Every structure is written in structure tokens, then in C-alpha cells.
Amino acid sequence: MAVNARSRRQRVSYDTRIFLLALLVGAPALILLALLLFAGDFSPAFVFTMLAVAVVGWLVLANLLRNEVVYHLRTLSNLLEALRMGDYSMRGRREARNDALGEVVWEVNQLGDAMRDQRLEVREVSALLRKVMSEIDIALFTFDGQHVLRLVNPAGERLLGLPAAELIGEPAVALGLEDLLDAGERRVVKREFGPRAGRWERRVLRFREGGLPHYLLVITDLSKALREEERSAWQRLIRVIGHEINNSLAPIKSMAGTLEDTVGRDPLPPDWREDVGHGLGVIASRADALARLMSAYAMLARLPAPRRRPVDLARLADRVANLEPRVAVRTQGDPFSAELDPDQLEQLLINLVKNAADATGPEGAVTLRWSRAAEEVVIEVEDDGPGIANPDNLFVPFFTTKPGGTGVGLVLCRQIAEAHGGQLTLKNRADQSGCLARLTVPERA
């Protein structure tokens, strides 16, 4: 029943219904008028004339009401259609907040404004995205669920050596990208793209468009960055080695000149033995410094795998503390032994204590302490120097803030820590100025 009533109502158009309703509203008055006219003492001609005028007026007014309602609805419908077609310039007049129709018009106008702003925003964002995609030196490819290429940026065109028009619509297999598409995190791959061979980082991101899965394949050329990194590492290495060699060779050369001068004098000066002895001492110490520098580089380049054996930490700590002549190093910890490579660990601690002594000067307080927790050995070297000025660069090879520094010590320490499956961190002390170096390594392999 309800369905029938609804379908009947749907068959009669809305404007006809308004018209009929308007007729219905006027019908009682018309009937009343007819009754009064027939009941009164009027001539039939008068009665029919009056009735004809009333019926015509009734129909005209009902039609007016229908037109009024329909006109506004049509206007609203035109406005909404314009919005649907993307024309936001049309606006409804008669917007008013205190009037039912005015309120609807106001809302439609607001909707238009909001849609215009949104479209502007979307346009700006997509213009920016297009610009970024075309300017960026990273190859971007978008594939649909069937692995067919849908979008490619200029870097992608350059990588594959073909224009976008020839690439779009091709399956990933035909483009030689299928193996790179298997979804997953980042991966570094070695491969050739035409004449360009090298190392590439590939990332695949999944996204949905129109409810369907799509893939964004990002391919970045790592070779250039790696080469630049390598070159700058070489430059730093050469700068530091050059500096160190000059630092040692200059005093050796000048001392050799002085000695030559001394032994060439006739008669020999009375204290010539002393001068020669002192000069040879300087030459020997500079040669030692050079040898130490070279052995540090050699060790950094070819650090062997740790050979673990039981190490008595208290004894090792005492030995390291005694090796540092400049400051009195306090040692703190219970005696116990752990399975570590004693030579590498000693080298690591010597470097940390040396850095601490460099930072504090002779009056400084340096503490070397060790402990054991959850099958891990924790060794700390604490000083009361000025602390770390540049924490980001500490482990950068050849980074040093010291005039005679090599910038190798901490890199070597970290290599040793990581070779033992542990880690080394350096941070400024929270309680006062100074640095706290903490080594954490598993007690055994």
C-alpha cells in the first residue's frame, strides 16, 4: 500500500501537486460562494458570471502559487547544477538568514564558496606536486594494480631513456621494472639502466586511487652521493695526513739542519753532545708520532674480528689508567671477567682516556668505571672538561677539534664496540660540565 501510494505520488509531478494543493485550499471558499449565490435571490446570469469569475480567479491564483514555488526550486536547481559543472561564479540572490528560502540560498552560496576554495587549493597543491615531480632528480613511477605504468616524471623518462608518451600504458615487465615492484621497504640494488650503471635505492609505496591499489616506485641514484662522500672522505684523509706529516717533517728538517750546523762547526761547541742528543730525541719523537698515526689508520682500515677471551676488567682498567701520564685516572668497579678481545678493548679504553685527558688538562678528574648488568658489560669514562662542542661530528672519520688530532680515535672505538656487538655513545654530563663516554658490550659472544 505504502509503496503504491509513493509510486502514485511520484507519477504526479511536484509542481502539479502544488497546483492541486492550491486548488484544494481555495475549494471550500468557492463551494461556499456557490452555495451562497444559489441560495440568494440572484438572477442565474449573475450567479454564473460570478461563479465563472471566481473559478478563473481560483485557477489563476493557484497557478501563481505553483509558479512561485517552482520558480525558486528551479533557480536552486540551476545553481546546484552550475556547482556540479564547476561554475562557482553563479550566486543565488535573496540570501537571508531569517527566511526559510533565503537560508537555503545562503547555504547554497556558502557551499559554492567552499567548493571554489577547495578547488583552488587542490589546483595549487597539484600544480606544486607537478612542479616538484618534474624538478626532482629522483625517478618516480606510478603503477596500477595490474602493474601498468600510469605516471612517470622527467627523471623517470631520463632513467629509461624514453619519453612519457611511449612509457605510459606499458606493463612493468616490458619496462624492466617488475623485479623492483615487489612491495616492501627500502632496498639498495645494483643494476644498469641503459648506459647508467650503479647503486640505486628503490622504495615502493602502496596507495589507493578510486578504491584500487596503486604503487609508487621511487628510484634514487646513490652512486653520485656515494662518490661525493668517498671523495670528501679522501680529501679529509689527505688533508689530515698531509697536516700530520708536515707537522712531523718540519721539526725533523729544521732539527737536521741545526745538527748539521752544529757538527760542521770547528771546533765543536762544548755542549755539542747535548745538542745532538736533544735534536735526535726530537727527531725520534716526531718519527714515533708519525708511526702512531700510520698504525691508527692501518688499524681503522683493517680491524680484525675480535678474538674473545676472558679479560679481568679491574686489571685492564688499572693498566689503561697507568698508561695515561697526564692525569690521575680513578678506577671504580668490582673485579670480574668478561669474554672480550683484550687488545681491542685496551685500545678503545686508551683512546677514551686519552680524549678525556686532552679535554681536562693536568688538573682534571677522569674516572674509569665498569659494571655488569643483564649479561652486558658497561664501561664508562667520565671527565670534567668542557664537554662535547659538536656531538653530530664525533664519529665522522677525521673530524677533530685538536691541533694535533687525527679524528680517528672515536671511529676506531665505535668500530671495536660494534665488532663486539655493542655500542659506544658520548654525551655531555648532566650534573656538571664534562663528557661521559659509555661502552655497552655483551659479556660473551
Q: Does 394 bind ligand ADP (CB under 6 A)?
A: yes
From 103-111, 226-234, 280-288, 384-392, span contacting ligand ADP (CB under 6 A): 384-392
Q: Does 402 bind ligand ADP (CB under 6 A)?
A: yes
- Cis peptide before 267, with omega less than 30 degrees from 0? yes
Place of cell 747535548: 274
Query: Applying CB under 6 A, which part among 6-14, 57-65, 260-268, 392-400 lies near ligand ADP?
Result: 392-400
Which strands form 366-373's sheet, in the order they lie side by side?
329-332, 366-373, 376-382, 435-442, 423-428
> Which CB sits closer to ligand ADP, 156 or 407?
407
CB of 333 to ligand ADP, least distance (A): 19
Q: Contact between 417 and ligand ADP (CB under 6 A)?
A: no
Query: 145 or 361: whose CB is closer to ligand ADP?
Result: 361
Asked if residue 388 binds ligand ADP (CB under 6 A), the reply is yes
Q: Which three cell numbers stand for residue 294?
A: 700510520
From the CB of residue 283, how many other CB atoms can be counted at a distance below 10 Å? Answer: 17
The 324-363 site mask, x for binding ligand ADP (CB under 6 A), equals ---------------------------x---xx--x----
Choice between 160 and 327, CB closer to ligand ADP: 327
| Strands 366-373 and 329-332, sheet pairing | parallel
Give the binding-site size for ligand ADP (rule: CB under 6 A).
21
Is residue 400 involved in binding ligand ADP (CB under 6 A)?
yes
Of 351, 367, 356, which is closest to residue 435 (Cα–Cα)?
A: 356
How far apart CA 312 and CA 339 sit, in angstroms, is 9
Contact between 142 and 177 under an 8 Å Cβ cutoff? The reply is no
Nearer to ligand ADP, 255 or 410 (CB): 410
Identify the bridge partners of residue 209 per DSSP, sorted by sequence position. Answer: 212
Contacts by residues 301-309 (CB-CB < 8 Å, ≥ 24 positions apart): 303/344, 303/412, 303/415, 303/416, 303/419, 305/419, 306/340, 306/341, 306/344, 306/416, 306/419, 306/420, 307/341, 308/339, 308/340, 308/341, 308/420, 308/444, 308/445, 309/339, 309/340, 309/341, 309/342
316 lies in the site for ligand ADP, by CB under 6 A = no
For ligand ADP, the binding residue among 112, 156, 364, 385 (CB under 6 A) is 385
405 binds ligand ADP (CB under 6 A): yes
The least distance separating ligand ADP from the CB of residue 290, rounded to whole angstroms, comes to: 14
User: Which positions touch ligand ADP (CB under 6 A)?
Assistant: 351, 355-356, 359, 383, 385, 387-388, 394, 399-402, 405-411, 435
